[in-house]
């Protein structure tokens, strides 16, 4: 997936008269490097290399050889900006490049990054983070989101939008999106429940009563409640609340709308009910999320 993210740069090159990006793959020794998928890719040795932008790919595990952190530290010292995909953040941290900076990594490794490198300001629920000259992505598909943000910083918003369209992306996700979606964690076992969840996500502003959702599933309210609990392990009311919190989270991070407007747009009766739902789901208030987002934007 680290390599897949480079497609955003390759696509951006098709929009400009002269290529905006030239990509080189390097490793400590050069030569063939076996990927986690089992095939090998050819690389150049990093000795003597110089880059405007340096990114460290993801790798299996989180242990960083000292020789690698030293090599990355040297390359980064001469680069205008540096970044990482997924566990590549551990390499940047080992090289001291994340000291005092905000950063993220894949949700499975957030605790390990915090524990191993307490000087790093690890952010949760971030798809990618840009702090000064340093960029870090949570991993997997978020690397593409980060590269689109990089293209926007270099070539403008219109270019980034054109790249996303050519890559057949449904939408460009902001860096402050949640790493784990509630729709993915529910894992419904029936098409009926999946249809109801899709309907609910598109109509969060509506009341979404049990009777309304049961109608979508073509079941009686009693039958629907039993089927929904069996498929998701949660009540319809609890799931709808989590979906509303997820949508409100995205709006708070990506827009300047007031919290009252966001509460109304995502189906909460008022701002206070949204606040209580956030505390139940995330243990933090919408005000705290907005404050953090604004601090990141200012940084």
Q: Under CATH, which architecture does the 2-166 domain have?
A: 3-Layer(aba) Sandwich (3.40)
The string of pLDDT tens digits covering residues 185-233 is 566 667 888 899 989 989 999 999 999 999 999 999 999 999 998 888 8
Residue 155, Cβ density class (10 Å: 0-12 exposed, 13-18 middle, ≥19 buried): middle
Residue 244 confidence (pLDDT): 93
Which residue in 105, 47, 52 sits closest to 72, CA to CA? 47
Q: Is the pLDDT of residue 155 over 90?
A: yes
- Report strand pairing: 26-27 vs 31-34: unpaired
Q: Identify the pLDDT of residue 293.
A: 74
| 142, HSE (Cβ side, Cα atoms, 13 Å) | 29
Return d(Cα 259, Cα 290) in angstroms, integer.
9
pLDDT at 296: 65
Q: Which fold has domain 182-298?
A: Arc Repressor Mutant, subunit A (1.10.10)
The answer to whether the CB of 46 falls within 8 A of the CB of 71 is yes
Looking at per-residue confidence, does 135 or 246 come out higher? 135
- Cα separation values, 193 from 50, 206, 209, 244, Å: 53, 18, 15, 17
Q: What is the pLDDT of residue 139?
A: 87
Q: Tell me the average pLDDT of the chain.
A: 90
Structure tokens at 5: 């993210």
**H helix intervals, 190-235:** 191-202, 210-217, 221-232
Q: For a pLDDT cut of 90, what percent of the chain falls above it? A: 72
Task: Count the alpha carbons within 13 Å of 172 in the hemisphere toward its beta carbon.
Answer: 22
Mean pLDDT of 120-131: 90
Q: In whole angstroms, give the CA distance from residue 284 to residue 123.
A: 14
Active site positions, annotated: 86
Give me the residue spans of the domains in the chain.
2-166, 182-298
């Amino acid at each position: 997936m680290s390599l897949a993210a480079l497609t955003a740069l390759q696509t951006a090159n098709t929009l400009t008269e002269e290529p905006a990006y030239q990509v080189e793959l390097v490793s400590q020794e050069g030569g063939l490097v076996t990927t986690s998928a089992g095939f090998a890719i050819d690389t150049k040795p990093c000795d003597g290399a110089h880059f405007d932008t340096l990114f460290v790919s993801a790798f299996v595990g989180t242990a960083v050889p000292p020789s690698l952190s030293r090599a990355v530290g040297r390359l980064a010292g001469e680069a205008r900006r540096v970044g990482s995909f997924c566990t590549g953040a551990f390499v940047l941290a080992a090289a001291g490049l994340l000291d005092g900076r905000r950063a993220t990594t894949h949700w499975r490794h957030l605790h390990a990054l915090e524990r191993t490198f307490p000087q790093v300001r690890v952010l949760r629920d971030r798809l990618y983070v840009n702090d000064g000259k340093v960029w870090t992505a949570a991993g997997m598909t978020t690397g593409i989101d980060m590269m689109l943000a990089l293209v926007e910083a270099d070539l403008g918003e219109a270019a980034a939008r054109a790249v996303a369209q050519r890559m057949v992306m449904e939408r460009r996700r902001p860096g402050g999106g949640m790493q784990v979606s509630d729709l993915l964690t529910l894992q419904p076992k029936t098409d009926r429940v999946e249809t109801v969840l899709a309907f609910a996500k598109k109509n969060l502003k509506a009341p979404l009563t049990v009777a309304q959702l049961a109608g979508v599933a073509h079941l009686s309210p009693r039958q629907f409640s039993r089927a929904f609990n069996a498929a998701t392990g949660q009540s319809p009311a609890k799931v709808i609340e989590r979906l509303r919190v997820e949508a409100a989270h995205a709006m708070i991070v990506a827009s300047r709308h007031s919290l009252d407007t966001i509460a109304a747009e995502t189906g909460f009766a008022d701002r206070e009910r949204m606040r209580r739902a956030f505390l139940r789901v995330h243990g933090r208030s919408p005000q705290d999320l907005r404050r953090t987002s604004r601090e990141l934007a200012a940084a």
